Structure 1
Amino acid sequence: MLFPTLGFGLFFLAVYSLAWLLRGSNEWRKIVLLIASWIFYGAWDWRFVLLLIASGFFNWGVGRLIGLAGDDERRRKLLVCLGVALNLAVLAWFKYYNFFMEQAEALLRSLGWERDLALMQVILPVGISFFTFQGMSYIIDVYRRQTRVAGLLDMTLLMSFFPHLVAGPIVRASHLVPQFRSVPEISRGMAAMGLLLIVWGLFKKAVIASELATRFVDPVFFDPAAYSSLDLVLAAYGYAVQIYCDFSAYSDMAIGLAALLGYRFPHNFNQPYRARSLQDFWRRWHISLSSWLRDYLYIPLGGSRHGLARLCLALMTTMLLGGLWHGANWTFVIWGALHGGVLAAERLWRDFRPEGWPKLPPLLGIILTFHLVTLSWIFFRSASFGDAIAYLGGIAGGDWTTTILTPLGLVLILAGMSLHYLPRDGTQRLAVRVRTMPAALVGLAAGLAILVIDAMRPEGVAPFIYYQF
């Protein structure tokens, strides 16, 4: 079930109506939201609803046992290690089993031992990386005494809540569970912001991202040898805009849907392509993941507390694992390695910049960072390492005079980049104005905007890019 479809619209309308009809009983309201979330997830494959339920029960149980352990630090540490290990085992089985078997088989062959290992067609459950990370963060936070032990209903709803279930943001228990414990309220401001974010996200996904993907980016990446060097460069820029508009659109719609149900999600993007350094980029891009990696991986690995060498090692390890989190493919590992290497280089330059050398001008920093990110997107988007190298080889030598990019495609790329230079609080300002308008007029305007977007978008609805992670 995809957000920008009529089926989801009808589904959400029914859930919205039931949720507010039951506001007098918060427990029944949460039960309805939980069942609705399982129906939403089951639209892909009902078998994996059981996995989602089991994951919620397991993480709730481990959190409760940690809470009951009191001051027995040895028992608490054993429980949190067990909880994290089993979460990772589930993720590894579904997402990485075949990848690791293929690498093991290739290694054995290189050593002269020809043997076929057991490969299986393991179906990847949608959103497993997101709800697994959410479960791990909960039990770690309970262990650290940074959040209270949640009740079973609150915990299963936290992990199953449909607005953020399949592609984030990764909402932590300390942020959302306290909201579940009290009866939600919705103001005109929240409703206005929610509607604006949904319509804005729909536009970014259905018009900008989908048009660029279907008309230009996907064909070029599918067969880069058939296109000019100019097309390859433009398609790399196009993909940078596509993935931003696609993923930020999902986050905007998720935040908007949650707001209409009375809950607040944290923002997940902050104009990332105006970042002046790669460190700044990761403070702006997929903020819920970058903060998760910082708090649960980078800092426990030592962070900046144990010298520069340890810091660089922690950065590289964090970004390599962050790359692998995105998928079982060497292209994601290389993508993570590029980011980790540049982050380490930035830190080394900051600490050892020769005395008297000027700092990089902000505009030059933005341009350089954007192109480093775009270069890494080529590996992220390519199906294999060989395809990425072929793509880069095509850029290095070829025709720079012809292109298949249409004027509309060029306008969309430029529009996608210009979004990063709009006022940061533009949506909030507009919401302040919208909340004073009559409800009937707001509904009519939102309906007309959706109809216009539907008329502008290409045929069909492609899944969000981050559904595969």
Structure 2
Amino acid sequence: MSYLSIEFGLIFVVLFAIYWAFRLLPKFQNNLLLISSYLIVASYSVQFAVILFSYTCVIYFFSIMIATSKQHAKIWLVLGLSAAIINLALFKYFDFFRYELQSLLNYLNLSILLPAITIFIPIGISFYTFHSVSYLVSIKKKELPVAKFWDFALFLSFFPCIIAGPINRAKTFIPQIVVSQPREILEPFRAFTLLILSVIKVYCLGGLISENWITPIFSNPLEYSTLDLLVGLYGYAIQIYLNFSGYTDLVTGIALLLGFRLPINFNFPYLACNVREFWERWHISLSHWIRDYIYIPLGGNRRGFIRTQINVMSAMLLSGLWHGAGINFVIWGGCHGLGIIVLNILDCYMGRSWITQRSPIIARLITWHYICFTWLFFYCVSLPDALDYLTALGHNFLIESHYIEVFLSICVIFLLYPLFKNIPDWCSLQLSKINRIYLPIIFIFILWLTIYFAPSGMPNFIYANF
């Protein structure tokens, strides 16, 4: 069930009414959220709900053992993390590694045939795996006590986050679950603003860009000019930002209406002046998770310059592999790792932020094009597709352009992009001046207007696939 569907909207209105009718009973609200979350997971597949519940039981067992075992807590932590990683690898990466391993066996002339098993990836498995890792580590560090089982189950399954994040930390989110005082609706005007922005971003703008620019250009890049191919890359960079940040806006708004705060996941990433800053602005909950649970445990920047670069590349390769079980995603992660390593070398020999200090707009322009280049490997299904696109990009200078007006429009948007930074706050301020009675009417009108201009069909959340 899509969170942008009319069906979900109607169901949420009913849930919202029942939820706040029991405002004085936070435990009842938690039970209602838990049931709703599992029903949403089960709407994709009942097996996914069973897998989630089984996984919850296993991780909860390890958390108890970590908390109660004084001498062997570290061993139980390693076992718990291993169980989480093995579960994720089994469902998400079995086919990928089976194919690569089978190729290696064939190359070595070993007559071993690995079994071909069709495994469906449970919805949200990447995100609730990351949630569980943060919980186990927090228990080991004694940042919070072992939660009650059903509170922990809600932490892993909380429906606004389970499909595509953002990634919550146990030490900040579980305390929001175990409250004893009645909850309040948080920042209602900001919540409405985020809901409105999400519908516009995902349903209308992202859909129109995908239908008119991305799909036709990527379908047959050899037919388009270099200028058009740049439009395709620019378009996808814009669409994936609109899609993912729009999803984050949507679930953040929903969470606020339910009395929960989610971590900030985006901070205008295309204002970044280098790749490192891009990751401080893009999918922030993931980049911070990778920093805290992969990069720093590997040694971070504490073991010399060369080891730091190895740690950076390892973390970014794992980030790419997390996004998808394919060589394209590994290359995508490697490109980002390489970009950060080159930046670190330049900082070492030329001074930190050398280009940015002299010309921020040039630094943004270089970063923008490098990020767009990496998105090519993210979008294309196979490496040959990406190489075909790059070949056409380097050879089709003489083909007549079909999208020159679009190219010029994107250039203008790039220059004006910093001005968009205050739009959410401005919209919230304007909504706060309107009588609350009229807010639903305004929201319904904007929703109707968006659907009217949007392409037909229900848009997908790109990051729900990861």
TM above 0.5: yes
Structure 2 residue aligned with 1:392, among 362, 365, 390? 390
Q: Contact 1:241 / 1:417 at 8 angstroms: preserved in 2? A: no
Q: 1:383 aligns with which of 381, 384, 388?
A: 381
Partner residue, 2:84: 87
Pairwise CA distance, 1:159 = 0.8
**Matched AA of 1:453:** T
* Alignment-derived partner of residue 17 in structure 1: 17
Distance 1:399 1:363, change over 3 A: closer
Q: Which structure 1 segments of 5+ residues have no match?
A: none
Is the 1:164–1:254 contact (alpha carbons within 8 Å) kept by the matching residues of 2?
yes
Which residue pairs with 2:38 in the alignment?
38
Aligned partner of 2:252 among 244, 251, 255: 255
Question: Structure 1 416/169 Cα, relative in aligned 2: closer, same or farther at 3 Å?
Answer: farther
Aligned to 1:230: 227
User: CA offsets per residue over residues 148-201 of structure 1, 9 Å max, x none?
Assistant: 3222121111111111111000011112111112245335x6111111101101
Counterpart amino acid of 1:392?
A: L
| Aligned partners of 1:241 and 1:416 also within 8 Å | no
Task: Rate the CA distance shift 1:280–1:234 in 2: closer, same or farther, 3 A.
Answer: same
Q: Which residue of 1 aligns with 2:436?
A: 439
The amino acid of 1:27's aligned partner reads: K
Alpha-carbon distance in 1 for matches of 2:229, 2:272:
24
Match runs of 1:121-160 below 5 Å: 121-160=118-157
Letter in 2 for 1:397: H
- The amino acid that maps onto 1:402 is E
Q: Distance in 1 between matches of 2:400 and 2:125?
A: 42
- Deviation, structure 1 residue 117: 2.0
- 1:16-64 residue CA offsets vs partner (Å, 9 max, x unmatched): 1111112221111101111001111111112110111122222222222
4+ runs deviating over 6 angstroms: none
CA 96–22 in structure 1, closer or farther in 2 if over 3 Å, else same = same
Q: 1:352 aligns with which of 345, 349, 353?
A: 349
Alignment partner, residue 67 of structure 1: 67
Percent identical: 32
Secondary structure at the aligned position of 1:118 is classed as: coil
Task: State how far apart, in whole Å, the 1-side matches of 2:288 and 2:315 are.
Answer: 11
For 1:403 and 1:448, locate their aligned partners in 2 and report how far apart those are by CA, in whole Å. 38
Conservation of the 8 A alpha-carbon contact between 1:224 and 1:232:
yes
Counting only pairs closer than 5 Å after superposition, residues 349-428 of structure 1 correspond to structure 2 as 349-353=346-350, 360-405=358-403, 413=410, 417=414, 420-422=417-419, 424-428=421-425
The superposition leaves residues 104-126 of structure 1 with CA deviations (integer Å, 9 ceiling, x where unpaired) of 11112222335432121111112
Q: Distance in 2 between matches of 1:390 and 1:12?
A: 45
TM-score (norm 1): 0.94
The separation in 1 between residues aligned to 2:125 and 2:412, in whole angstroms, is 33
Q: Distance in 2 between matches of 1:159 and 1:218?
A: 35
- Report how far residue 410 of structure 1 moved: 5.8
**Alpha-carbon offset, residue 435 of structure 1:** 2.8
Q: Deviations over 1:81-135 (max 9, x none)?
A: 1111111111111110011011011112222335432121111112211111111
- Structure 2 distance, partners of 1:27, 1:277, is 46
* Of 396-405 and 290-299, the range deviating more from structure 2: 396-405
Matching residue within 307, 312, 315 for 2:309: 312
Q: What residue identity is the alignment partner of 2:364? A: I
The equivalent residue for 1:293 is: 290
- Return the offset for 1:404: 4.1
Q: Distance between the aligned counterparts of 1:416 and 1:93, measured in 2? A: 43
Please state whether the residue corresponding to 1:422 is helix, strand or coil: helix
Is the Cα contact below 8 Å between 1:269 and 1:285 reproduced in 2?
A: yes
- Counterpart AA for 2:379: R
Letter in 1 for 2:383: F
Higher mean C-alpha deviation, range 159-168 or range 222-231: 222-231
How many residue pairs end up in the alignment? Answer: 463
Letter in 1 for 2:63: G
> More helix by proportion, 1 or 2?
2
SS in 2 for 1:424: helix
Alignment of 1:104-183 (within 5 A): 104-113=101-110, 115-182=112-179, 183=181
Distance 2:413 2:164 in 1: 21
- Secondary structure, counterpart of 1:126 in structure 2: coil
2:195 alignment partner AA: I
1:22 and 1:28 in contact (8 A); partners too: yes
1:460 aligns with 2:457: yes
- Tell me, in whole angstroms, the C-alpha distance in 2 between the residues paired with 1:241 and 1:122: 32
* Deviation of the 1:354 alpha carbon: 7.7
Describe the shift of the 1:141–1:415 C-alpha distance in structure 2 as closer, same or farther (beyond 3 A).
farther
- State the secondary structure of the residue aligned to 1:169: coil
The verdict on how the C-alpha distance between 1:44 and 1:416 changes in structure 2, with shifts beyond 3 A counting, is farther
What letter corresponds to residue 50 of structure 2 in structure 1? L
Match of 1:26 in 2: 26
**Cα deviations across residues 367-401 of structure 1 (Å, max 9, x unaligned)?**
11111111000011111111111110010101554
How far residue 214 of structure 1 moved from its aligned partner, in angstroms, is 2.2
What's the CA shift string for 1:397-456, capped at 9, x where partnerless?
01554344496x669856875784235343234324423421111221111111111111
More displaced stretch, 42-51 vs 255-264: 42-51
Q: CA RMSD in A?
A: 2.1
Aligned residue identity for 2:204: V
Change (3 A) 1:158 1:235: same
Please tell me the residue identity of whatever aligns with 1:228.
S
Instruction: Tell me if structure 2 keeps the 8 A contact 1:272–1:420.
Output: no
CA distance in 2, matches of 1:310, 1:105: 32
Distance (Å, rounded) in 1 between the aligned partners of 2:29 and 2:75: 36
> Could you say what secondary structure the match of 2:263 adopts?
coil
In structure 1, the residue matched to 2:327 is 330
| Matched AA of 1:92 | A
Contact conserved, 1:108 with 1:115, CA < 8 A, in 2? Answer: yes
**1:214 aligns to 2:211 (yes or no):** yes
Equivalent in the alignment of 2:337 = 340
Letter paired with 1:16: F
Partner secondary structure for residue 301 of structure 2: coil
